[in-house]
Structure 1
């Protein structure tokens, strides 16, 4: 196994094809500074479709506390080349003397299922992921010590099950998947006793007595006849039936737990899809309503445009209108008010142009003052007249 040196330059060389190389490098170094038993190396990852990709593999042990004692759980974590956009792939990697204990967190192939992985987003961190794994394994240990007379099949025994959201998985039938190497021990015994403290160099699992989970029970073999001292065919048949029944019962239990975990993941995905469908339907309904309102407004504007065009055509066909004849009052009082208003407006204009003439030196100051005094006096008289007319006509003053 490769030794780990916290060489950022070397790690960045490994991560040259990663989308977020610098971020991934910093995360790996920070994680390995906390969990020094982890090592990294680049290995070929084989996907279900047979394609291969070089991915960074973090492999080592995690300290897990179970019933007051610490144990080292061997794991391997694969970082996708789009990290942190996609969740890592986590596996429990037992040694040859250990067996996987299937639970809601681990399937029979060692694949780790965690809510944190299912809810992974770009703000999730590797350190938080490892903490979630430690907490989950402390609740339900993923491995147990296997009796010495039980022969463990090569790891893994079959292909990995698919993960939710369509993540890729390694295929055991394809070459290139890394083989599992046992972790070194500090004594001749392969595992410490169950109550022994955590030792960073020792193997982390409880022994067969006691153990987080009961050790695998050897199948009962044929026993001699108590009366005759010989093994009959009936004894062999009963022994084989008992062994097959026990094995099938264990397999069915593992498959049931694994199916429950997958079913829960599918249910969460279904809920998320239904919520997304509801949101999309609400958005679509709102857009349709807004579109209907816009179509209605367009029709109203088109009708108003036609009315304006018709009015313009009618005005174009009519002859010129005398302004004085177009405005006709209904009473003499209103006529007096209208005439006073018009004369007052003309006086306002006359005063303005008198100022312009003075500014351009067309008239002298004396002439300007004399004319402006006369015009202003007349303007004041007209405004007083308009005020009285408005009062008489009961209009706003």
Structure 2
């Protein structure tokens, strides 16, 4: 069973913790067995979940009854509380109360105030036993029986009948052992370490339980109590419907709030980026204005000066550099002349003989100038070109 349970819990977030909880419950309450089945959520979605299915021993008026329940464990267990149901047999009916609705779903403060890693399955079952001992969740389908008590037949076997509450001692309930099967002499002992259910606040008053007299006749007060019970059940159904509707609206508002918060975070990030870009842009504008003022001053200073002759402005510090400069300028002029001679030939201004003769002369002179520049650069200690 442990290996099979381990395979079932492979998709659970806290698989080891959940497996330990299930095994502890299975060893403590032999009437509960782990299973895996498909759970249908209210929104129509489905999920394969592990559940505990079977019966728990509930003492009621000196008798132990096996109450059938079904506990679904969420795949986030123990972060989220389990979903619990009462699963009556064919000869039972659900007794609607503040703790159980008409579908058998169980509502408890222990589930509502579920604390991850503090609340556990053993504590939940202990609270279920205490609660169902005061408010039985099922009663037998019988026209003669008016009192909504648990029906002790088949999987709800009474033990210790005939004891009065004043003389009540912990009765026996069936315990299955590998050697002897069911042992009906094991005393029922509540699980230690959990507070009594009275420690949990009860938000609604207890329901009155209509009781028939010994002669089997129904009096006016019995009819009145039955009507009051029916009205209470109807009000409870309407209250549950209203609660579910309000809960759905609350969930929608919570999702909208989360989306608005995420949108606000995005807008804050965009606003912060825009503020940074604006600051950078202001700095660049300030720098450009400073540069513009410098340019205006330089233009004003140059406009106030006299015109400068380019030839006079370019002077050399030594005759060798002047010879190099003149050779470079003349060589550049020859380069341009050869280019324009080629353009003239292409346009048909000169013929090929004139072009070849002139290009040969200009090329010879250009070669001599380049040789002169190389010799001058070598003489001046400059790098060769």
Q: TM-score range by the shorter chain?
A: 0.3 to 0.5
Indicate the structure whose relative CO is greater, using CA pairs within 8 Å and at least 6 residues apart.
1
TM-score, length-normalised on structure 1?
0.47
TM-score, length-normalised on structure 2?
0.48
Rg: which structure is higher? 2
